[in-house]
Structure 1
Amino acid sequence: MNRRAAGPIVQRVNKLPRSAWILFAGTFINRFGTFVMPMLALYLTRSGFSIAQSGLAISAYGAGHFATSMLGGHLADRIGRRNTIALSMFASGATMLTLSQVHGFASIVALVFTAGLSTELYRPASSALLSDVVAPDQRVLAFGFYRFAINLGFAIGPAIAGFLAERSFFWVFLGDAVSSFAFGIIALVALPHGIHQSEDRESFRTAFADRRLVIFLLASISMTWIYFQMSSTLPIHLARHGFTPSQYGMLMSINGLFVVLFEIALTLRLQRFAHVPVIAIGYALMGIGWALTGFAHTLLAFAITVAIWTIAEMIFAPMASAYITELAPEHARGRYHGLHMLTYSIGMLAGPILGATLYERSEALLWMACGVSGVVGAVVLFVSKIRRSPKLFANRYT
Structure 2
Amino acid sequence: MPRSVWLLVAARAINRMGAFSLPFLTVLISVDFGTSATTAGLVSAAFGLASIPSRLAGGRLATVLGRRRTIVLGLTGCAVAQLGIAASGSLAEVAVFAVLLGLAFELYEPPSQGLIADAVGPADRVRAYGLLNAGLAVGGAGAGLLAAALGRWDLRRLFVVDALTCLLCALALHLALPADRTGRPAVRRGAGARPARPWRDRALWAVFASGTLFALVSLQIVMGLPLTLARRGLQPADAGVLFTASAVTAVAFQPALRLPRLASLSDPAALALGHVLLALGLGGYAASSGLPAFVGATVLCGLGEVLVLGRVFSVVAGLAPPGGADGYLAAYGTSWGIATVAAPVTSTQALEHLGATALWAATAGLCLALAAVQLLVVGPLVGARRPGGDPGRGSRPKGVAGPWRRAV
Q: For residue 326 of structure 1, what is the aligned residue in structure 2? A: 318
Mapped to 2, the partners of 1:368 and 1:40 lie a distance apart of 24
Of the three residues 212, 229, 251, the one matched with 2:220 is 229
Q: For residue 107 of structure 2, what is the aligned residue in structure 1? A: 121
The range that moved more, 283-292 or 321-330, is 283-292
Mapped to 1, the partners of 2:318 and 2:238 lie a distance apart of 41
Mapped to 1, the partners of 2:21 and 2:327 lie a distance apart of 28
Look up the SS of the partner of 2:323 in the other structure.
helix
Structure-2 change in CA distance of 1:174 and 1:21 (3 Å)? same
Mapped to 1, the partners of 2:287 and 2:111 lie a distance apart of 41
Q: Is the 8 A contact 1:22 1:190 kept in 2?
A: yes
Mapped to 1, the partners of 2:332 and 2:293 lie a distance apart of 32
Is 1:110 the counterpart of 2:96? The answer is yes
Of the three residues 296, 301, 307, the one matched with 1:309 is 301
Identical aligned residues as a percent: 24
Alignment of 1:351-390 (within 5 A): 351-358=343-350, 360-361=353-354, 365-384=358-377, 385-386=379-380, 388=383
Q: For residue 71 of structure 2, what is the aligned residue in structure 1? A: 85
Mapped to 2, the partners of 1:229 and 1:248 lie a distance apart of 13
Of the three residues 4, 10, 13, the one matched with 1:28 is 13
The range that moved more, 173-182 or 61-70, is 173-182
Deviation at 1:157, TM superposition (A): 3.7
Deviation at 1:70, TM superposition (A): 1.9
For 1:379, the aligned partner's letter is: A
Q: For residue 7 of structure 1, what is the aligned residue in structure 2? A: none
The range that moved more, 115-124 or 26-35, is 26-35
For 2:75, the aligned partner's letter is: M
Deviation at 1:379, TM superposition (A): 1.9
Mapped to 2, the partners of 1:347 and 1:226 lie a distance apart of 8
Mapped to 1, the partners of 2:63 and 2:239 lie a distance apart of 41
Q: For residue 350 of structure 1, what is the aligned residue in structure 2? A: 342
Q: Which ranges of structure 1 fall in alignment gaps of 5 or more residues?
A: 1-15
Structure 1 length as normaliser, TM-score? 0.78
Q: Is the 8 A contact 1:283 1:378 kept in 2?
A: yes
Q: For residue 209 of structure 1, what is the aligned residue in structure 2? A: 200
Deviation at 1:313, TM superposition (A): 0.6
Alignment of 1:263-282 (within 5 A): 264-269=254-259, 270-282=262-274
Mapped to 2, the partners of 1:96 and 1:351 lie a distance apart of 20
Alignment of 1:23-172 (within 5 A): 23-34=8-19, 37=22, 49-52=33-36, 57-97=43-83, 103-157=89-143, 159-160=145-146
Structure-2 change in CA distance of 1:155 and 1:302 (3 Å)? closer
For 1:265, the aligned partner's letter is: P
For 1:110, the aligned partner's letter is: V
Q: Is the 8 A contact 1:64 1:113 kept in 2?
A: yes
For 2:7, the aligned partner's letter is: I
Q: Which ranges of structure 2 fall in alignment gaps of 5 or more residues?
A: 399-408
The range that moved more, 270-279 or 375-384, is 270-279
Structure-2 change in CA distance of 1:82 and 1:250 (3 Å)? closer
Is 1:285 the counterpart of 2:277? The answer is yes
Deviations 1:333-359 (A, max 9, x none): 122212222222222322343345555
Q: For residue 10 of structure 1, what is the aligned residue in structure 2? A: none
Structure-2 change in CA distance of 1:347 and 1:37 (3 Å)? closer
Q: For residue 260 of structure 1, what is the aligned residue in structure 2? A: 251
Q: Is the 8 A contact 2:146 2:240 kept in 1?
A: no
Q: Is the 8 A contact 1:78 1:197 kept in 2?
A: no
Mapped to 1, the partners of 2:44 and 2:306 lie a distance apart of 27
Q: Is the 8 A contact 2:2 2:120 kept in 1?
A: yes
Mapped to 2, the partners of 1:395 and 1:162 lie a distance apart of 36
Q: How many residues align?
A: 378
Q: For residue 4 of structure 1, what is the aligned residue in structure 2? A: none
Deviation at 1:98, TM superposition (A): 5.2
Mapped to 2, the partners of 1:50 and 1:361 lie a distance apart of 22
The range that moved more, 346-355 or 358-367, is 358-367
Mapped to 2, the partners of 1:164 and 1:293 lie a distance apart of 25
Deviations 1:291-330 (A, max 9, x none): 3544456655444332222111111111111111111123
Structure 2 length as normaliser, TM-score? 0.77
Deviations 1:6-62 (A, max 9, x none): xxxxxxxxxx0111111112212222244764676677678x633447655544433
Look up the SS of the partner of 1:331 in the other structure.
coil
The range that moved more, 347-356 or 141-150, is 347-356
Coordinate RMSD, CA, aligned = 3.8
Structure-2 change in CA distance of 1:221 and 1:288 (3 Å)? farther
